[in-house]
Amino acid sequence: MKLTKITLLVVAILLASCTTATKTITITNYLVIDRSFETIEISKADLKLQETDSLYDYVIEDVNGNQPIVQHEDTNGDGSVDVILFQPKVLANSSATYTVVYIPNAELPEREEICYSRFVPERTDDYAWENDKVAFRVFGPTAQQMFEDGVEGGTLSSGVDCWLKRVEYPIINKWYKKYADGTGSYHEDTGEGLDNFHVGISRGCGGIAIKKDSTYYISKNFTNYKTLTTGPIRTSFYIEYADWDAGGNLIKESRIVTLDRGQNLSKFEISITGSDKVSVGLTLHEKKGIVTENDKNGWMSYWEPHDGSALGTAVVAAPESIIDMEKYETDMKDLSNSFMQLKLNDKKVICYVGFGWKKSGQFNNDDSWQNYLNQFAIKLKSPLEISIH
Is residue 276's pLDDT more than 70? yes
Position 162 confidence tier, pLDDT thresholds 50, 70, 90:
very high
- What mean pLDDT is predicted for residues 60-86? 93
Tens of pLDDT, residues 127-143: 999 999 999 999 999 99
| pLDDT at site 21 | 61
DSSP state string for 328-388: E--SSTT--EEEEEEE-BTTEEEEEEEEEEGGGTS-SSHHHHHHHHHHHHHHHHSPPEEEE
Cα–Cα distance, 284 to 204 (Å, whole number): 8
CB environment 153-190: b (16+ within 10 A), e (fewer): ebbbbbbbbbbbbbeeebbbeebbeebeeeeeebeeee
Is residue 85's pLDDT more than 70? yes
Instruction: Enumerate helices (H) and strands (E) in the chain, giving the number of each.
Output: 4, 25
Tens of pLDDT, residues 209-223: 999 999 999 999 999
- State the chain's mean pLDDT as an integer: 93
Q: Which of 98-107, 146-155, 300-309 has the lowest mean pLDDT?
A: 98-107
Is residue 5's pLDDT more than 50? no
- What mean pLDDT is predicted for residues 22-28? 95
State the sign of the Cα–Cα–Cα–Cα dihedral 360, 361, 362, 365.
positive
Amino acid residing at 168: E
CB environment 1-31: b (16+ within 10 A), e (fewer): eeeeeeeeeeeeeeeeeeeebebebebebee
Position 79 confidence tier, pLDDT thresholds 50, 70, 90:
confident
State the sign of the Cα–Cα–Cα–Cα dihedral 83, 87, 93, 94.
negative
The full set of domains in the chain, from first to last, is: 5-108 (2.60.40.1180), 116-381 (2.70.98)
User: Are 42 and 83 a contacting pair, CB within 8 Å?
Assistant: yes
Tens of pLDDT, residues 220-260: 999 999 999 999 999 999 999 999 999 999 999 999 999 99
| pLDDT at site 78 | 85
Assign 20 to helix, strand or coil. helix
- What mean pLDDT is predicted for residues 69-84? 92
Residue 353: beta bridge partners? 266, 315
Contacts of 333 (CB under 8 A, 6+ apart): 200
Is residue 110's pLDDT more than 60? yes
User: Are 350 and 343 a contacting pair, CB within 8 Å?
Assistant: no
Assign 276 to helix, strand or coil. coil
Is residue 4's pLDDT more than 80? no
